[in-house]
Amino acid sequence: MRRPDLLPAGEWAPAGSGESDAEVFRRSDGTAYAKCAPAHGIVDLRGERDRVKWLSSTGIPSAEVLDWVAGPDGACLVTTAVPGVAAADLPPEKRQKALSPLAAAFRALHEVADCPFTRPLGEVVDQAADVVRRGAVNPDFLNDAWRKLRPETLLERIKAEQPYAEQVAELVVCHGDACLPNVLLDPETLEVTGFIDLGRLGLADRYADLALTTAQLLDEWDLPADEFLRGYGLEEPDRRRLDFYLLLDPLTWG
């Protein structure tokens, strides 16, 4: 991977990739990460920068912005490294005990007030429609049953359920991509040390986050989500909304 021109001075090693063809680098001392985007990804990366700045001011554990460099050919966002390990990498013997702090962390995030960012459901559905129209749905994001159907059929299901989802929506500060790799925990105490990858953060129905997290708990941790949902405060979750947002999310990446 070629070193982007906008990457700050110092020793950096590749650490994966992000959305919009962004490249992620980790500083050699482990204290910072840099996400570099080409010209067409500047707007999205600037939006992520603003969300990181805002969330770090609320008391919710997250990264902080260290630097921002932009030019005609791209931009680079440098943030502090959040300590801990990704929830996705937590050893199996610790996962059950991590459910309670994980639920508490999402509840705390969802209770933050005065969020300046929004993610209207109509815009998300339009985004899914665009991905489907372009034939860009990634089948790896779909379960076995969904892969047997045309993406257009899946989108029709979403649009049929959209009025219900809008009617019962409870708008809170949602992470927007609430999968286990985006939540870090202290490997000893199992307390959440921070949320990362905040490009989709904004006001949305709480179930947009809960659907992704509960699905990942089953798929990645092999744990049913009931205890997590109870810890969050939902004794009788709306399964219809969980299903709706679980289907919607994979149609928005492409």
Catalytic machinery residues? 177
- Show the CA angle centred on residue 174, arms to residues 170 and 127, nearest 5°: 90
For residue 76 the two structure tokens come to: 């680079």
**CA–CA gap between residue 132 and residue 148 (Å, rounded):** 15
Written as six digits, the tokens of 102 are 């994980």
State the number of CA atoms in the 13 A half-sphere of 12 facing the CB.
Answer: 24
> How far is the C-alpha of 1 from the C-alpha of 70, rounded, in Å?
20
* Residue-wise DSSP of 47-110: HHHHHHHHHHTTTS-B--EEEEEEETTEEEEEEEPPPSEEGGGS-HHHHHHHHHHHHHHHHHHH
